[in-house]
Chain A
Amino acid sequence: KNEVEQSPQNLTAQEGEFITINCSYSVGISALHWLQQHPGGGIVSLFMLSSGKKKHGRLIATINIQEKHSSLHITASHPRDSAVYICAVTGADGLTFGKGTHLIIQP
Protein backbone atom coordinates (compact mmCIF):
# COMPACT_ATOMS: atom_id res chain seq x y z
CA LYS A 1 0.00 0.00 0.00
CA ASN A 2 1.35 3.41 -0.96
CA GLU A 3 2.18 5.87 1.79
CA VAL A 4 1.92 9.52 0.78
CA GLU A 5 3.63 12.08 2.99
CA GLN A 6 3.35 15.82 2.62
CA SER A 7 5.36 18.59 4.18
CA PRO A 8 4.86 20.97 5.73
CA GLN A 9 1.47 20.23 7.30
CA ASN A 10 0.84 23.93 7.86
CA LEU A 11 2.42 26.92 6.19
CA THR A 12 1.78 30.61 6.76
CA ALA A 13 3.50 33.10 4.48
CA GLN A 14 3.29 36.72 3.42
CA GLU A 15 1.78 37.81 0.15
CA GLY A 16 4.33 37.68 -2.62
CA GLU A 17 6.46 34.92 -1.15
CA PHE A 18 7.55 31.86 -3.13
CA ILE A 19 5.88 28.76 -1.72
CA THR A 20 7.03 25.15 -1.92
CA ILE A 21 5.00 22.17 -0.78
CA ASN A 22 6.56 18.71 -0.90
CA CYS A 23 5.16 15.24 -1.41
CA SER A 24 6.86 11.87 -1.20
CA TYR A 25 5.45 8.42 -1.78
CA SER A 26 6.67 4.94 -1.04
CA VAL A 27 5.72 2.78 -4.03
CA GLY A 28 5.92 3.28 -7.80
CA ILE A 29 3.00 5.10 -9.36
CA SER A 30 1.51 5.81 -12.76
CA ALA A 31 0.63 9.43 -11.97
CA LEU A 32 0.72 12.04 -9.22
CA HIS A 33 -1.96 14.65 -8.67
CA TRP A 34 -1.94 17.98 -6.93
CA LEU A 35 -5.37 19.02 -5.72
CA GLN A 36 -6.64 22.19 -4.08
CA GLN A 37 -9.33 22.17 -1.42
CA HIS A 38 -10.92 25.47 -0.47
CA PRO A 39 -12.53 26.20 2.93
CA GLY A 40 -15.95 25.23 1.54
CA GLY A 41 -14.57 21.75 0.99
CA GLY A 42 -14.68 21.29 -2.79
CA ILE A 43 -11.69 19.70 -4.49
CA VAL A 44 -10.18 21.05 -7.69
CA SER A 45 -7.57 19.20 -9.68
CA LEU A 46 -4.52 21.41 -10.34
CA PHE A 47 -2.05 19.07 -12.01
CA MET A 48 -1.55 15.51 -13.00
CA LEU A 49 2.08 14.49 -13.56
CA SER A 50 3.87 11.35 -14.57
CA SER A 51 7.25 12.95 -15.29
CA GLY A 52 9.06 16.26 -15.46
CA LYS A 53 7.40 19.56 -14.81
CA LYS A 54 4.12 21.35 -15.51
CA LYS A 55 3.26 25.03 -15.22
CA HIS A 56 -0.10 26.72 -15.02
CA GLY A 57 -0.07 30.42 -14.31
CA ARG A 58 1.76 30.97 -11.02
CA LEU A 59 1.72 27.28 -10.16
CA ILE A 60 4.53 24.88 -11.04
CA ALA A 61 4.60 21.16 -10.26
CA THR A 62 7.63 18.92 -10.59
CA ILE A 63 8.14 15.23 -10.07
CA ASN A 64 11.23 13.05 -9.68
CA ILE A 65 10.15 9.48 -10.32
CA GLN A 66 13.47 7.96 -9.20
CA GLU A 67 13.33 9.75 -5.86
CA LYS A 68 9.54 9.29 -5.51
CA HIS A 69 9.13 12.97 -4.78
CA SER A 70 7.10 15.87 -6.10
CA SER A 71 6.95 19.56 -5.31
CA LEU A 72 4.28 22.16 -5.87
CA HIS A 73 5.52 25.75 -6.14
CA ILE A 74 3.50 28.94 -6.05
CA THR A 75 5.19 32.09 -7.28
CA ALA A 76 4.09 35.57 -6.17
CA SER A 77 1.66 34.08 -3.65
CA HIS A 78 -1.64 35.82 -3.00
CA PRO A 79 -4.23 35.55 -0.20
CA ARG A 80 -6.60 33.82 -2.62
CA ASP A 81 -4.06 30.95 -2.79
CA SER A 82 -4.98 30.13 0.82
CA ALA A 83 -6.32 26.58 0.77
CA VAL A 84 -5.40 23.00 1.56
CA TYR A 85 -3.13 21.46 -1.08
CA ILE A 86 -3.40 17.71 -1.38
CA CYS A 87 -1.01 15.34 -3.08
CA ALA A 88 -2.53 12.09 -4.36
CA VAL A 89 -0.95 9.24 -6.30
CA THR A 90 -2.42 6.75 -8.74
CA GLY A 91 -1.02 3.31 -8.18
CA ALA A 92 -2.02 -0.32 -8.20
CA ASP A 93 -4.64 0.34 -5.51
CA GLY A 94 -6.15 3.43 -7.13
CA LEU A 95 -5.84 6.92 -5.70
CA THR A 96 -4.05 7.36 -2.37
CA PHE A 97 -4.15 10.77 -0.75
CA GLY A 98 -1.77 12.66 1.48
CA LYS A 99 -3.06 14.51 4.54
CA GLY A 100 -2.75 17.87 2.84
CA THR A 101 -0.83 21.07 3.48
CA HIS A 102 -2.83 23.92 4.95
CA LEU A 103 -1.52 27.12 3.35
CA ILE A 104 -2.38 30.61 4.60
CA ILE A 105 -1.15 33.64 2.69
CA GLN A 106 -1.39 36.82 4.71
CA PRO A 107 -1.79 40.21 3.01
Chain B
Amino acid sequence: EPEVTQTPSHQVTQMGQEVILRCVPISNHLYFYWYRQILGQKVEFLVSFYNNEISEKSEIFDDQFSVERPDGSNFTLKIRSTKLEDSAMYFCASSSSNAATYGYTFGSGTRLTVV
Protein backbone atom coordinates (compact mmCIF):
# COMPACT_ATOMS: atom_id res chain seq x y z
CA GLU B 1 0.00 0.00 0.00
CA PRO B 2 1.36 3.47 -0.85
CA GLU B 3 2.86 5.37 2.07
CA VAL B 4 3.77 8.89 3.00
CA THR B 5 7.39 8.85 4.15
CA GLN B 6 8.85 11.36 6.58
CA THR B 7 12.48 11.92 7.48
CA PRO B 8 14.09 12.15 9.91
CA SER B 9 11.98 10.32 12.46
CA HIS B 10 13.57 12.32 15.28
CA GLN B 11 15.57 15.53 15.15
CA VAL B 12 17.20 17.41 17.99
CA THR B 13 18.24 20.97 17.31
CA GLN B 14 19.49 23.96 19.24
CA MET B 15 17.25 26.97 19.74
CA GLY B 16 17.73 29.47 16.94
CA GLN B 17 18.85 26.89 14.40
CA GLU B 18 17.04 26.22 11.14
CA VAL B 19 15.50 22.80 10.56
CA ILE B 20 14.05 21.19 7.46
CA LEU B 21 11.57 18.37 7.83
CA ARG B 22 11.12 16.21 4.77
CA CYS B 23 8.15 14.33 3.41
CA VAL B 24 7.61 12.20 0.34
CA PRO B 25 3.85 12.18 -0.36
CA ILE B 26 2.05 9.52 -2.33
CA SER B 27 3.07 9.96 -5.94
CA ASN B 28 -0.31 10.65 -7.52
CA HIS B 29 -1.61 12.85 -4.72
CA LEU B 30 -2.11 16.53 -5.40
CA TYR B 31 -2.71 18.06 -1.98
CA PHE B 32 -0.13 18.16 0.78
CA TYR B 33 -0.40 19.13 4.41
CA TRP B 34 1.64 19.70 7.53
CA TYR B 35 0.22 19.18 11.01
CA ARG B 36 1.77 19.59 14.43
CA GLN B 37 1.13 17.86 17.73
CA ILE B 38 2.70 19.29 20.86
CA LEU B 39 3.16 16.61 23.49
CA GLY B 40 -0.10 15.92 25.30
CA GLN B 41 -2.14 18.17 23.03
CA LYS B 42 -4.29 17.60 19.98
CA VAL B 43 -3.10 17.61 16.42
CA GLU B 44 -3.19 21.09 14.85
CA PHE B 45 -3.28 22.14 11.22
CA LEU B 46 -0.33 24.15 9.96
CA VAL B 47 -0.58 24.49 6.19
CA SER B 48 -1.99 22.99 3.02
CA PHE B 49 -0.27 23.11 -0.37
CA TYR B 50 -1.64 22.62 -3.84
CA ASN B 51 -0.38 23.41 -7.33
CA ASN B 52 2.95 24.64 -5.97
CA GLU B 53 1.50 27.17 -3.63
CA ILE B 54 0.04 27.46 -0.15
CA SER B 55 -3.73 27.07 -0.31
CA GLU B 56 -4.41 27.58 3.37
CA LYS B 57 -2.47 28.20 6.57
CA SER B 58 -3.24 28.51 10.23
CA GLU B 59 -2.29 31.22 12.72
CA ILE B 60 0.53 28.97 13.89
CA PHE B 61 2.17 29.11 10.45
CA ASP B 62 3.90 32.45 10.86
CA ASP B 63 6.91 33.92 9.07
CA GLN B 64 9.36 31.49 10.63
CA PHE B 65 7.71 28.63 8.73
CA SER B 66 7.89 27.92 5.03
CA VAL B 67 7.01 25.00 2.77
CA GLU B 68 8.39 23.94 -0.55
CA ARG B 69 8.08 21.21 -3.11
CA PRO B 70 11.56 21.50 -4.53
CA ASP B 71 11.68 18.61 -6.97
CA GLY B 72 8.24 17.18 -7.64
CA SER B 73 8.53 14.41 -5.08
CA ASN B 74 9.66 15.95 -1.77
CA PHE B 75 7.53 18.29 0.31
CA THR B 76 9.48 20.14 2.98
CA LEU B 77 8.68 22.20 6.05
CA LYS B 78 11.36 24.67 7.09
CA ILE B 79 11.47 26.33 10.47
CA ARG B 80 13.87 29.25 10.19
CA SER B 81 14.85 29.98 13.77
CA THR B 82 13.56 27.32 16.09
CA LYS B 83 12.13 28.12 19.49
CA LEU B 84 11.64 25.82 22.45
CA GLU B 85 7.90 25.84 21.85
CA ASP B 86 8.41 24.41 18.36
CA SER B 87 9.18 21.07 20.00
CA ALA B 88 6.43 18.78 18.73
CA MET B 89 5.62 15.89 16.46
CA TYR B 90 5.21 17.11 12.90
CA PHE B 91 3.03 15.10 10.55
CA CYS B 92 2.89 15.31 6.79
CA ALA B 93 -0.21 14.13 4.95
CA SER B 94 -1.33 13.94 1.36
CA SER B 95 -4.60 13.46 -0.45
CA SER B 96 -5.85 12.97 -3.95
CA SER B 97 -8.05 15.49 -5.67
CA ASN B 98 -10.98 14.86 -3.35
CA ALA B 99 -9.98 14.37 0.28
CA ALA B 100 -13.64 14.34 1.30
CA THR B 101 -14.13 11.18 -0.76
CA TYR B 102 -10.76 9.47 -0.58
CA GLY B 103 -9.35 10.73 2.71
CA TYR B 104 -5.86 11.54 3.82
CA THR B 105 -2.74 9.44 4.19
CA PHE B 106 -0.47 10.45 7.06
CA GLY B 107 3.24 9.96 7.47
CA SER B 108 4.66 8.48 10.65
CA GLY B 109 5.84 11.87 11.86
CA THR B 110 9.06 13.66 12.76
CA ARG B 111 9.63 14.29 16.45
CA LEU B 112 11.39 17.66 16.73
CA THR B 113 13.10 18.49 20.00
CA VAL B 114 14.45 22.02 20.42
CA VAL B 115 16.97 22.38 23.24
Please give the residue numbers on chain A whose beta carbons come within 8 Å of chain B beta carbons, in ascending order: 30-31, 33, 35, 40-45, 48, 50, 86, 88, 90, 93-100
B42 touches A99 (CB 8 A): yes
A47 smallest CB distance to B (angstroms)? 9
Q: List the A side residues contacting B108 at CB < 8 Å.
A: 40-43
Chain A binding surface, main DSSP class: strand
Chain B contacts for A95, CB-based, 8 A: 33, 35, 45, 104
Q: Is the CB of B48 within 8 A of A100?
A: no
Contact B109–A41 (Cβ < 8 Å): yes
Residues in B neighbouring A31, C-beta threshold 8 A: 99-101, 103
Complex contacts, A40 vs chain B, CB 8 Å: 108
Q: How many residues of B sit at the interface, in one of the four size bands? A: 20 to 34
Complex-state Cα separation, A95 to B47, whole angstroms:
11
Number of contacts between A and B (CB, 8 Å)?
A: 54
Q: Mark B91-106, 1 if CB is under 8 A from A, else 0.
A: 1000000011111111
**Which residues of B approach A to under 8 Å, CB–CB?**
33, 35, 37, 41-45, 48, 56, 89, 91, 99-109, 111
28 contacts between A and B (CB under 8 A): A31-B99, A31-B100, A31-B101, A31-B103, A33-B104, A41-B37, A41-B109, A41-B111, A43-B91, A43-B106, A43-B109, A45-B105, A45-B106, A48-B102, A48-B103, A50-B100, A86-B42, A90-B100, A93-B56, A95-B35, A95-B45, A95-B104, A97-B35, A97-B42, A97-B43, A97-B44, A98-B42, A99-B42
CB-nearest residue of chain A to B89: A41
Q: How far is the CA of A90 from the CA of B91 in the complex (A)?
A: 17
Q: Which residues of A lie under 8 Å from residue B103 when comparing CB positions?
A: 31, 33, 45, 48
Could you say which residues of chain A place their CB within 8 Å of the CB of B44? 97
Question: With a CB–CB cut-off of 8 A, which chain A residues contact B91?
Answer: 43
